[in-house]
Structure 1
């Protein structure tokens, strides 16, 4: 149980069974195993927000009134947690394995899921395609968007019929909107010599065109419909207000030490010259315009701390990483917000720095 659990191992636990598959995948990396040897006692108290689930073995639960009951792993009763509200102690009757779950994080995910279900129910009553919305909202970026923003976003979308072979986005054009594919399929193409290279195929629920909005650069690829379908257009201003702003989390320099202690990794999203003149300890160089291509080298179970000069590029990097299922934070205010002393203390390493390998290793470059 040292490796993160697969969602299938969690979906029968109560109340984890109320979470979506995406939320279970997100929560699994925050669940820790706990071993109890035979005779060992686990104290329960109302001040703890931790939930405990018995996964193997058996325990004796003694409540605050002295009442005793035996709990055996694999039984219906063991699907429920020993929650903070249950004052008392748990004594292992044999060697046991438990899972510890952050109760506050679980409550946050459950509250968001319930609010989202209320939104979906209302929209389905208004005649919206709830199945398509479910697929759309499985995108990781929506896990941090307030349901009220989602409702507002849906009211601002403009539906456009898109016949086969229609180019929705052309490489090199400016970006003033992004799209959500409602029906049909599309392909992402990039110029290569005298022809085009196929980068990806998009299914209903996909969001595309957002990179030009984030980076304020021309479109880096074309998107062409493969078959008849429809798309929903979201203007740049609405995208920045409703989606990007709530998704991007940031941290102060004072909070960084705790995250690094939990295994977080620095990402420097500046240009190479800036990186080589000084970067954070063991920071990976991931310039913003190459970030999406380089994410295959990152570990989705590890938090990432992004920084740049003004904080703008790092905020965009956090949005892109979040959309791809990563946990990421931007350094609040960027390097410009630091004092000269703090900046020098942070960017003390110089040179070509570190590389990420496809197996998840980080090593010093030569």
Structure 2
């Protein structure tokens, strides 16, 4: 069996290259190149499998329904992007030589990508100092937050109750009812299970660790005791606030037809994908403002105007709409993203070259190429 790809091999793949190394580790089981023999079909026209493919080695022939053909060589600029991402597939892909591809679960990739970009925006907003950014970074890398809609995390941080504890203090006790969870902000703490002489040290918690959440999720008593090994600070999150975290926020969505009517009334497309994705194909007259930079560049937007956000899956645009709404802008997300559009509608919306705008630093916009 082939070894998983290493970070250096992933950095050329868009948008996979923006994920953190921890997120790559979460994908590790999928980051194994899959062999493809010459003449073998990777996917057929109309295929609807929710899999994102990248060409890693060899050459493919992509053929559309009207017979148009495109030869794709590994290592080319085009091979750094997903193959025929729209569903159902707009092309058939057949290997012209022995090749290898990377196949990733699309839903997992979209979840990780949306979280990563929203996480970068959150650090930008909340980080007041290097120490604070470091702590927040370690907190947000906690696997718990993979289950939390990114837009909810900001509200959670506002509800945390700071508690200073001395060395030897018991933070939570095995067998107690779970009414909250905790995050370790500084200091050291250990997890112990068992009573009397049968006690067993299970782990020493690192800064940013979340503990006590298992009793909340399972609605069961605490399964271990946590004690401070030195003076430190924990942050408490009450049960009701914890479950409020897991609820996805409601954002305004529109169909392509509804978006067309809003455009006719003066709305503008806002592309929240990476610039590399935008330059590959974008809506005419759209403004590119990647999700992770949205807060930095939002001053370039016109408050009275309505913005129609889009991305590939709809997840990044939903986060963008939530953020813009919080900041007082009128915004809608294209429901389920451009990849869910029928081929004829997607082709009409996106063009490889055409009039568009890039948001730059210094409070200016410029024409895209």
TM-score by length of 1: 0.55
2:99 equivalent among 74, 96, 116: 96
Note closer, same or farther for the CA distance 1:239–1:43 as it changes in structure 2 (3 Å cut): closer
Q: Does 1:209 align with 2:181?
A: no
What displacement does 1:205 show?
1.2
Aligned positions of 1:23-62 closer than 5 A? 23-29=23-29, 35-42=35-42, 45=45, 48=48, 50-60=51-61
Q: 2:122 matched to which residue of 1?
A: 119
What displacement does 1:200 show?
1.5
Inter-partner Cα distance in structure 1 for 2:99 and 2:2: 15
Q: 1:146 matched to which residue of 2?
A: 149
1:14 partner SS: coil
Tell me the alpha carbon deviations over residues 252-299 of structure 1, each in whole angstroms, 9 at most, x when there is no partner: xxxxxxxxxxxxxxxxxxxxxxxxxxxxxxxxxxxxxxxxxxxxxxxx
Inter-partner Cα distance in structure 2 for 1:109 and 1:133: 18
Is this contact kept in 1: 2:46–2:91, CA < 8 A? no
Note closer, same or farther for the CA distance 1:220–1:26 as it changes in structure 2 (3 Å cut): closer
Tell me the alpha carbon deviations over residues 190-245 of structure 1, each in whole angstroms, 9 at most, x when there is no partner: 344347432211111111123443455544432111122211011122123324x6
Note closer, same or farther for the CA distance 1:163–1:12 as it changes in structure 2 (3 Å cut): farther
Inter-partner Cα distance in structure 2 for 1:134 and 1:127: 10
Inter-partner Cα distance in structure 1 for 2:237 and 2:132: 18
Is this contact kept in 1: 2:127–2:136, CA < 8 A? no
Q: 2:14 matched to which residue of 1?
A: 14
Tell me the alpha carbon deviations over residues 167-190 of structure 1, each in whole angstroms, 9 at most, x when there is no partner: 222344444322100111101123
Is this contact kept in 2: 1:171–1:221, CA < 8 A? yes
Is this contact kept in 1: 2:72–2:78, CA < 8 A? no
Q: 2:138 matched to which residue of 1?
A: 135
What displacement does 1:28 show?
4.6
Note closer, same or farther for the CA distance 1:125–1:62 as it changes in structure 2 (3 Å cut): farther
Is this contact kept in 1: 2:59–2:71, CA < 8 A? no
2:127 partner SS: helix
1:82 partner SS: coil
Inter-partner Cα distance in structure 2 for 1:99 and 1:239: 37
Aligned positions of 1:77-92 closer than 5 A? 78-84=79-85, 88-92=91-95
What displacement does 1:55 show?
2.5
Inter-partner Cα distance in structure 1 for 2:133 and 2:185: 11
What displacement does 1:71 show?
0.4
2:185 partner SS: strand
Note closer, same or farther for the CA distance 1:56–1:133 as it changes in structure 2 (3 Å cut): same
Aligned positions of 1:176-215 closer than 5 A? 176-194=179-197, 196-215=199-218
Note closer, same or farther for the CA distance 1:224–1:61 as it changes in structure 2 (3 Å cut): same
Note closer, same or farther for the CA distance 1:120–1:82 as it changes in structure 2 (3 Å cut): same
Pairwise CA RMSD of aligned residues?
3.6
Inter-partner Cα distance in structure 1 for 2:85 and 2:162: 48
Higher normalized contact order (CA 8 Å, seq sep 6+, divided by chain length): 2
Q: Does 1:107 align with 2:110?
A: yes
Inter-partner Cα distance in structure 2 for 1:151 and 1:18: 21
Tell me the alpha carbon deviations over residues 2-30 of structure 1, each in whole angstroms, 9 at most, x when there is no partner: 78x46646454221112233433444546
Inter-partner Cα distance in structure 1 for 2:233 and 2:175: 23
